[in-house]
Structure 1
Amino acid sequence: MKPAGVHHVAICVADAQKGLAFYRDVLGMTQLPRPDLGPGYWLDAGGQQVHLMESATPPPGAAHFAIRVDDLEAAVADLQEQGVEVQRVPFIPGAGYQAFLHDPFGNVVELNQPE
């Protein structure tokens, strides 16, 4: 597997509107288009993305970072050959092709191949 860069970092916020006001208006990020995935926002932070997901009680795995890959199928195959359990998810228009795994400490890592 060869990472092409960090695609995004996803964080949970109790109030998406308040989060948007802080990250956009205070920190200067730019709001991006986002598919309907529930309450939240996608923001540009100088070429990388921050994804705000509204959740009063974040579900396990909600907070994560995503590694951009050019070939998701090849990356998944490489990881599986190394004994890493990787979970593919159905394609979501606007979100790219995705797969998820856990590092040895239980942290969630997303692999993302943009559309």
Structure 2
Amino acid sequence: MSNIAKFLHSSLLVSDLNKAKGFYEDVLGLVPSQLRPEMRFDGVWYEIGAQQIHLLVLPNPDKDAVRPEHGGNDRHIALGVMDIAVLQKMLEEASIPFTLSKSGRSALFCRDPDGNALEFVEV
């Protein structure tokens, strides 16, 4: 039996916090958390249920890596959404490219402004 009790957060590296916040807040509708303590680097936290996404403004060791077009073939985090069609419309209105799940599930993949892959699954 594992001693690991639960999943707490995922951290994503970003280069331009304002650009990243535009995506996570203006497009996805997330609200910054007040729980983030003062740190030696800039960033923002978002609470999603009992878990969080942490955006960290730190150097990206993979910035020159070639990423696969489809985010499902890359490192990614998966988020549950109530209605995938609503998200699809929001992404289209913001001119953010996405790909549908190759498995036929009601899911899609997109990337944030720094190329971090996100999967959205209808729950």
Shorter chain as normaliser: what TM range? 0.3 to 0.5
- Given the two structures, how large is their TM-score scaled by the length of structure 1? 0.45
Q: Choose between structure 1 and 2: higher strand proportion.
A: 1
